[in-house]
Structure 1
Amino acid sequence: MRLLAEFEIYCDALPLVEVAATVPAATILLELQFNHGERPLFLVTVTNESHQPVAKALTDAYDVGEWTLIGQAGDTRRYQVVPALSFEDQLGEQIDDLAGLEALARADAIIERIEVFPEGWRQTGWFATRDAFSEFSAFWQQNADFQLSRLTRDGESEAPGNGLTDHQQEALRTAYELGHFDIPRRASLEQIADELDISASSASERLRRAQAQLIEETVATTWPPLPE
C-alpha cells in the first residue's frame, strides 16, 4: 500500500532553519542536488521576501558557505547554496544515530517537497509501504519532534485544503469570520492575532502559508513551471 504523507520535523539544527527564522515571512523551499561531491548542494527557492534580507540571512547563517543567486521570476528567486558543514557537524549534537539518518536516504520513499520554516522542516513524501513510512517517522520521533499533518493512500481523492495544519485552518476560519477578507476589510491582522492569542507576525505567517497551500492545491497546478 503506497502512502502520501505530509509532516513537520521540529529541529533547529536542520539546514537553513536559521535562515528561515531570520526571514519568517518568506516561503523557503529546499532541494538537494546530489551530484556535487559528498555533501549535496542546496537549491533554494524563496518567495514573499525581497532579495536583500534573504542575502543577509544567507551570508550570516552558520551553516551556509558560498551562495549564488541563480535566477528570478517575479517575487520568486532561486539560489544555489554550498553547505558550510558536514552532516556530522550540522546534526551531530542533535542526532545521535547519524548512520540511521543516512539509511533513510535508501528507504523506499521519495521526499518531493521540503519547506524550511523557523523551527524545522515541513515535508511531503511518497512511501512505498507502511513499513517504510513507519521507519521514517520512528527515526524522527526518537531524534526530534515529529508531527504528522496528513497520511493518505495513493490515489485517494481529497478535498482541497486537506493539507492545511490545524493552526492554519483555525487562522483562515477566524480571519474569514471576523471579516478580514471582506471588501472593505472589517478586521485587521492585529484583531485576528488577538483572537488567536498569538503575535501579529505569527498570524500573518499562518495566513500566508495557508493561502499558499490552497493556491498550490487548486489554481497553481494549472500554471506552467518557472523557467530553470
Structure 2
Amino acid sequence: MGFVATLSIDHPDLVLMPTIETHPDVTIRYEYSATAAQNDLCFVSVFGGEYDAIEETMVDDHTVSNPTHVATFENRAIYRITVETDLDLLPEKCAAYGVFVFRITSGEDDWMVRTHMPDRDALTAFQDYCRSHSISFRMTQLYDSMVSDDGTYFLTEQQHEILSMAYYAGYYEIPRAVSQDYLAEKLGISTSAVSQRHRRAVAELIAATLENDRTPGRRNHR
C-alpha cells in the first residue's frame, strides 16, 4: 500500500544548505536528531574527503553551530551539530500521517528526501508545510510501492546518463576501458562531479534493491 516518493527541497535556511551549496560535489547524509540541554542536535555523515574545508564552512553556516567531529571511517566522517533554524527537513506532523523516511541526503544544491507515504493526504501535508514556509518543493520520483518485482529502478536523468555512458564505454570492464577523466570530458563536468553522480546512481540501485527486499540469487561469478 502507499507509494515511494523522492522529494527535492530547498531553502536558504534549511539545515546545512549553505554548506551544501558551497560543496556541491560532497554528499551529506542526515542521520538522526536529538535534544540535549534544550538544544536541537543532529548527526550527519559527510562523504567526499574534504573534511577540513567542510568544517570551515560549517563554522560560518548560519543554520548550525558547534560542529563537532565525532568519528572518521574509511569513506566518511560523522559530525554532531547544533541546529539553529526553525525549518524542518521533515515536518513533525508528517509522522502522524505515517510517513516513513528511507534516507535524507544532499543533492548538488538541495536536500533529497526519500520517503514512503501511505496515501495522498501524507504527501499533501508535506506540500502544505513547504508552501507555508516558502520551501522550494519538487518531486523527482513517485511510484507505487507495490511495484517491486519487475526490476524497474528509478534514476534521475543525470544518474541514468552517467551509468549508461560508463557501461557502454567500458568503465565496468576488467580491466577498465575508460577512466573517470574520460567520462568527465564527455559530460563536460569535473572528475569529482563524475565521482559524486556515479556514487549516487549506484547507491540508488542498491537502495532500490534493499528496500524492495530483492535478494540476489545465485550466479556464476567470473
The TM-score range, normalised by the shorter chain, is 0.7 to 0.9
In structure 1, distance between residues paired with 2:172 and 2:12: 34
**Closer, same or farther: CA 188–152 of 1 in aligned 2, 3 Å:** same
Q: Distance in 1 between matches of 2:203 and 2:175?
A: 22
2:148 is the counterpart of 1:157 = yes
Superposition deviation, residue 138 in structure 1: 5.3
Structure 1 pair 53–35 and aligned structure 2 pair: CA distance change class (3 A): same
Q: Cα RMSD (Å) of the superposition?
A: 3.3
Report 1:97-176 matches (<5 A): 104=94, 106-137=96-127, 139-140=129-130, 143-158=134-149, 162-176=153-167
Mapped to 2, the partners of 1:191 and 1:152 lie a distance apart of 34
The reply to whether residue 21 of structure 1 matches residue 21 of structure 2 is yes
**Aligned match of 2:220:** none
Paired residue for 1:86? Answer: 85
Query: How much has 1:8 moved relative to structure 2?
Result: 1.5
Aligned in 2, Cα 1:134/1:10: closer, same or farther, shift over 3 Å? same
What corresponds to 1:56 in structure 2? 56
CA distance in 1, matches of 2:145, 2:208: 16
With structure 1 as the length reference, what TM-score do the two structures score? 0.73
TM-score normalised by the chain length of structure 2 = 0.75
How much does 1:199 deviate? Answer: 4.2
Amino acid at match of 1:69: H
Relative to structure 1, the CA distance from residue 198 to residue 77 in structure 2 (aligned partners, 3 Å threshold; closer, same or farther) is closer
Quick check: 1:4–1:153 contact (8 Å CA) kept in 2?
yes
Cα separation, partners in 2 of 1:51 and 1:161, compared to 1, 3 Å: farther
Distance in 1, matches of 2:166 and 2:195, equals: 10
Segment drifting more, 42-51 vs 184-193: 184-193
Q: Which amino acid in the other structure matches residue 147 of structure 2? A: E
Q: What secondary structure, in the 3-state scheme, does the structure 2 residue paired with 1:40 have? A: strand
The equivalent residue for 2:40 is 40
The equivalent residue for 1:94 is none
Alignment check: 8 A CA contact 2:27 2:196 kept = no
Q: Secondary structure at the match of 2:165?
A: helix
The answer as to whether partners of 1:45 and 1:78 remain within 8 angstroms in 2 is yes
Task: Extract unaligned runs of 5+ from structure 1.
Answer: 92-97, 223-228
Which sits farther off after the overlay, 112-121 or 17-26? 17-26
Distance 1:160 1:39 in 2: 44
Equivalent of residue 198 in structure 2, options 204, 207, 211: 207
* Conserved 8 A contact 1:149-1:163: no
Q: Does the CA contact (< 8 Å) of 1:189 and 1:200 recur in 2? A: yes
Aligned residues: 210
SS in 1 for 2:78: strand
Give the conservation status (yes or no) of the 8 Å contact 1:6–1:163: no
Q: Which amino acid letter does the alignment assign opposite residue 165 of structure 1?
A: T
- Output the CA distance in 2 between the equivalents of 1:198 and 1:48: 17
